[in-house]
A and B are shown apart, each in its own frame.
Chain A
Amino acid sequence: MDEQRQGPLSPCRVLDLTDEKGFLCGRILADLGADVIKIEPPAGDPCRNIGPFYHDIPDPEKSLYWFAYNANKRGITLNIESDDGRGLLSKLVEKAHFVIESFPPGYMDSLGLGYAQLSQMNPAIILTSITPFGQTGPYSRYNASDIVEMATCGLMYLCGDPDRPPVRITFPQAYLHGGADAAVQTLVAHYYRETSGCGQWVDLSIQQAAFMTTFNASWFWELNKINLKRAGAWRTGLTSGVLQRQIWPCKDGYINMPVYGGVLGARTNRLLAEWMDREGMSDDFLRGIDWDNFDMGQLTQEAWSKIEELMVRFFKSHTKEELYSEALRLNIMVYPVSTPKDIAENEQLDSREFWLQIDHPELGETITYPGPAVRASLTPMLVRKRAPHIGEHNEEVYGELGFSRDDLIVLKQSGVV
């Protein structure tokens, strides 16, 4: 039972040298029970400067971004650019199972810490390298950021209003896709190592991971030579006819209700139409539609405009809450466009006890975090502790290597840790 509570990766140790491009990879391994040691430069990771911040106080120990994606990890400081630092890292690598990093391609090699050298220190080591475009290739040395990844993976072109520039999702996503995919790839390598004893190098490209967000779009080009375009609140890529509207304003915000044709949409469309009718917001045209054979591909623009007009008026007369509650009662596909506040108050998440309270004694309170992304009956993902402070576990971890407190003072004063 104890073993299960520790998580399936509990005997494993991860040395986490990533920055924001890879935090989530280490976090997922930690949630699965690995002992993940976040290694930061002596003054702390620069990514501790990423907001938002606790009470808007920009402080390296108050970054909510840092808290979110480094929870469950221990933390040490180490300067791997110094000879002594590299020596310490080698000692740590000998006892580790995974090393994850997100430095520019070639950087680890230049320090004598590339896969060739690490695998000599520890032949079973798995090195996972997370970079914007991969270790090699024409873009491999390019500078990137979230918006560059979202542009080059193809998603941006498909998002936003047609009369304005392509737009990315406001909260940066690319590095999270990269980090999460890297965790999966790392586990594939781990599964292989457990029977073969062999480690390997996992070379992840964030561009490739983020590409998945374009779904079938690029196949409209490959098969039909159509370059799908962004359509804002409408949906592109279903039919060559009328564009399917997805977002509708309502009284206090917006709802998300794509109108589906055929079998998929029949029940929702019919029950919605009946509901509109009950409230006196329908008309003969709407009442006359045979929803079972409703084909969006064959619909004229004129017919659609009529339907749309009625629906717009109907939705505007109700709040998100009213529309969603009735949708739940009728079991139809009408969903709110949630703001963060709506998500925080969402009944479903609440009843599944999704939100976790993590203790932050240094702030004198507990903070609410999202719970595990997936649930498992025997070896669940667990969030055991908050993200580390700068150098919080120096004594513990270096103590294992035989360093005393006095040693640590010397190492700190000489800039090694």
Chain B
Amino acid sequence: MSQKDGPLSSCRVLDLTDEKGLFCGKMLVDLGADVIKIEPPGGDPCRNVGPFYRDIPDPEKSLYWLSFNTGKRGITLNIEVSDGRRIFRQLVERADIVIESYEPGYLDSLGLGYSDLSQINPGLILTSISPFGETGPYKDFKASDIVVMALSGYMSLSGDPDRPPVRTSFPIAYCFGAAGAAAGTMIAYYHRELTGEGQWVDASAQQAVASALLNARMHWDLNRVELKRAGPYRVGLSAQGKQLINFRCKDGYVNFVMFGGKTGAKTNRGLTQWMESEGMGSDFMNEIDWDSFDMARVSQDDFDRFEGDIERFFLTRTKSELYEEGSKRGVTIYPISTIRDVFEDPQLEARDFWQRVEHPELDATLLYPGPFVKCSQTQLRPPSRAPRIGEHNQEIYHNELGMSPEELVMLRQAKAI
């Protein structure tokens, strides 16, 4: 096996997901699997999600679709008709993994649930991704990104206190869910490689997002304290107050988190000296012995005061000035990058993070994020173009399954592909 092929290079995945799981398939592609995206005959409805290439709303120009389906092959198939289900079963015989994100029970109702599929292929791994899981009181709830962000506890911790809780503007709940599903799939795959046994992976987006809340939940569990949203402030470190972590600067915002004691001493001292050397020193900060600084003993008034001093200093400098000079001085100041900043980030650039992908149908080359991790022995696959609607119908149906052109025409006319 070539090192370039990736660890999953002998693995075939049938990807029946929608927005709730596209990213899972993509991660498996990056790991080297042959992922076949299965769409309904007219194309997946997700292709109507923007933004669009040059703002042209067209199912082959959705940048959302293009990002989350890199490297997959694409076929059309209608599993709601008998002919479609027959073909699907034939494909399952030759597959290792099936990922799907239908409503719980839907595949069962079509005779394509785990018990059915495992009879066709005992080693099959079926990964089902849903908002709340395949069972339980919420399993049939209608969901969307904002609903999952709310029910996972994430939203209650985000946003300004004097305004409603807020979600991340670009929907990420399903990315969490899908990534969690990918991890679960890999675990099942590892087990299969050892034992030959397949299994059913039941991934919940709500759980995936809730796991990202770090220690917030423990404040309730241990101390019955409900953390609240605090905008640019940070809560949950000190029982006493909130700590500003997002500061305005000359051309945007930067993130500076102050830690107490030995953890923060170097950076805190560095900042204090820097401010002083620029003639914008803070009397309060100059007085502090940073090595023994205890955040728990600082009053809210004091926090406010030296945070004000810090912000006044930051306002005289740009994000990149603060970032670069801060690095040199050992002060951990990070830019709050805009999309453009991310794009121009020298670190990402140095690691060849951005990859160019040809789009002959657009007569353009687009830049995509590269693989999510680097490994020394097994390279992850660089991204390649997402499939057009039905792009690989011929390859799969004709070349692999041996169907004739006449049969394909009949299947199209019967709305099966």
Asked whether any CB of A lies within 8 Å of a CB of B in the complex, the reply is yes
Bound-state CA distance A52–B405 (Å) is 11
* Nearest CB of chain A from residue B78's CB, rounded to whole Å: 11
Known: A409-B55, A412-B57. A58 touches B50 (CB 8 A): no
Q: Does A408 count as interface, using CB distance less than 8 angstroms?
A: yes
Give the interface size class of chain B.
20 to 34
Known: A405-B56, A408-B57. A43 touches B42 (CB 8 A): yes
Bound-state CA distance A152–B124 (Å) is 53
Give the interface size class of chain A.
20 to 34
The listed residue (B43, B50, B412) touching A43 by CB distance below 8 A is B43
Q: Does A44 count as interface, using CB distance less than 8 angstroms?
A: yes
Nearest 7 A-B pairs (CB), nearest first? A58-B412, A412-B57, A43-B42, A56-B405, A405-B55, A51-B409, A409-B57
Does A49 lie within 8 Å of B415, measured CB to CB?
yes
Task: Give the residues in chain A near B56, CB-CB below 8 Å.
Answer: 395, 405
* Nearest CB of chain A from residue B363's CB, rounded to whole Å: 12
Q: Does A53 count as interface, using CB distance less than 8 angstroms?
A: yes
Mark interface residues in A398-417 (1 if CB within 8 Å of B CB, else 0): 00000001101101110101
Task: Give the residues in chain A near B42, CB-CB below 8 Å.
Answer: 43-44, 60
Does B408 lie within 8 Å of A58, measured CB to CB?
yes
Task: Give the residues in chain A near B43, CB-CB below 8 Å.
Answer: 43
Does B50 lie within 8 Å of A413, measured CB to CB?
yes
Task: Give the residues in chain A near B390, CB-CB below 8 Å.
Answer: 59
Q: Does B48 count as interface, using CB distance less than 8 angstroms?
A: yes
Q: Kindly report which residue of chain A lies nearest to residue B51, judged by CB atoms.
A: A409
Task: Give the residues in chain B near A46, CB-CB below 8 Å.
Answer: 415
Does A51 lie within 8 Å of B394, measured CB to CB?
no
Bound-state CA distance A408–B406 (Å) is 38
Bound-state CA distance A394–B56 (Å) is 10
Chain B residues packing against A (C-beta within 8 Å): 41-43, 48-52, 55-59, 389-390, 393-394, 405-406, 408-409, 411-413, 415, 417
Q: Kindly report which residue of chain B lies nearest to residue A60, judged by CB atoms.
A: B42
Does A413 lie within 8 Å of B48, measured CB to CB?
yes
Chain A residues packing against B (C-beta within 8 Å): 42-44, 46, 49-53, 56-60, 390-391, 394-395, 405-406, 408-409, 411-413, 415, 417
Q: Could you list 27 examples of A-B contacts with CB < 8 Å?
A: A43-B42, A44-B42, A46-B415, A50-B413, A51-B409, A51-B412, A53-B412, A57-B393, A57-B394, A58-B409, A58-B412, A59-B389, A59-B390, A60-B42, A391-B58, A405-B56, A408-B55, A408-B57, A409-B50, A409-B51, A409-B52, A409-B55, A411-B57, A412-B48, A412-B57, A413-B50, A415-B48
Task: Give the residues in chain B near A408, CB-CB below 8 Å.
Answer: 55, 57
Bound-state CA distance A394–B48 (Å) is 14
Q: Kindly report which residue of chain B lies nearest to residue A394, judged by CB atoms.
A: B57
Most chain-A Cβ atoms within 10 A of its Cβ — which of B43, B56, B406? B56
The listed residue (B50, B51, B55, B409) touching A52 by CB distance below 8 A is B409
Task: Give the residues in chain B near A395, CB-CB below 8 Å.
Answer: 56
* Nearest CB of chain B from residue A361's CB, rounded to whole Å: 12
Task: Give the residues in chain B near A50, CB-CB below 8 Å.
Answer: 413
Q: Kindly report which residue of chain B lies nearest to residue A414, judged by CB atoms.
A: B48
Q: Kindly report which residue of chain B lies nearest to residue A50, judged by CB atoms.
A: B413
Task: Give the residues in chain A near B408, CB-CB below 8 Å.
Answer: 56, 58
Given contacts A49-B413, A58-B408, 8 further A-B contacts (CB under 8 A): A57-B393, A58-B413, A408-B57, A409-B52, A412-B48, A413-B48, A415-B48, A417-B57
Does A58 lie within 8 Å of B48, measured CB to CB?
no
* Nearest CB of chain A from residue B182's CB, rounded to whole Å: 27
Task: Give the residues in chain B near A58, CB-CB below 8 Å.
Answer: 393, 408-409, 411-413, 417
Task: Give the residues in chain A near B406, CB-CB below 8 Å.
Answer: 56
Task: Give the residues in chain A near B411, CB-CB below 8 Å.
Answer: 58
* Nearest CB of chain A from residue B305's CB, rounded to whole Å: 45
Task: Give the residues in chain A near B48, CB-CB below 8 Å.
Answer: 42, 412-413, 415
Q: Kindly report which residue of chain A lies nearest to residue B406, judged by CB atoms.
A: A56
Most chain-A Cβ atoms within 10 A of its Cβ — which of B55, B390, B406, B412? B412
Does A49 lie within 8 Å of B50, measured CB to CB?
no
Bound-state CA distance A42–B57 (Å) is 11
Does B409 lie within 8 Å of A53, measured CB to CB?
yes
Bound-state CA distance A377–B390 (Å) is 45
Task: Give the residues in chain A near B41, CB-CB below 8 Å.
Answer: 49
Bound-state CA distance A412–B47 (Å) is 10
Known: A43-B42, A59-B390, A413-B50. A51 touches B57 (CB 8 A): no
Bound-state CA distance A413–B63 (Å) is 13
Does A49 lie within 8 Å of B57, measured CB to CB?
no
* Nearest CB of chain B from residue A172's CB, rounded to whole Å: 12
Bound-state CA distance A60–B408 (Å) is 13
Bound-state CA distance A342–B43 (Å) is 39
Bound-state CA distance A408–B58 (Å) is 10
Q: Kindly report which residue of chain A lies nearest to residue B54, judged by CB atoms.
A: A405
Does A49 lie within 8 Å of B412, measured CB to CB?
yes
Task: Give the residues in chain B near A43, CB-CB below 8 Å.
Answer: 42-43
* Nearest CB of chain A from residue B45's CB, rounded to whole Å: 8
Bound-state CA distance A411–B58 (Å) is 12
Task: Give the residues in chain B near A409, CB-CB below 8 Å.
Answer: 50-52, 55, 57
Bound-state CA distance A58–B393 (Å) is 9
Bound-state CA distance A56–B403 (Å) is 13
* Nearest CB of chain B from residue A75's CB, rounded to whole Å: 13
Bound-state CA distance A411–B412 (Å) is 28
Bound-state CA distance A395–B57 (Å) is 9
Bound-state CA distance A395–B54 (Å) is 12
* Nearest CB of chain B from residue A160's CB, rounded to whole Å: 24
Does A56 lie within 8 Å of B58, measured CB to CB?
no
Q: Kindly report which residue of chain B lies nearest to residue A57, judged by CB atoms.
A: B394
Does A413 lie within 8 Å of B413, measured CB to CB?
no
Bound-state CA distance A409–B415 (Å) is 28
Bound-state CA distance A406–B56 (Å) is 9
Bound-state CA distance A69–B405 (Å) is 23
Q: Kindly report which residue of chain A lies nearest to residue B40, judged by CB atoms.
A: A43
Q: Kindly report which residue of chain A lies nearest to residue B49, judged by CB atoms.
A: A413
* Nearest CB of chain A from residue B74's CB, rounded to whole Å: 12
Task: Give the residues in chain A near B409, CB-CB below 8 Å.
Answer: 51-53, 56, 58
Bound-state CA distance A44–B59 (Å) is 11
Bound-state CA distance A372–B387 (Å) is 39
Q: Kindly report which residue of chain A lies nearest to residue B361, judged by CB atoms.
A: A362
* Nearest CB of chain B from residue A47's CB, rounded to whole Å: 10
Task: Give the residues in chain B near A51, CB-CB below 8 Å.
Answer: 409, 412-413
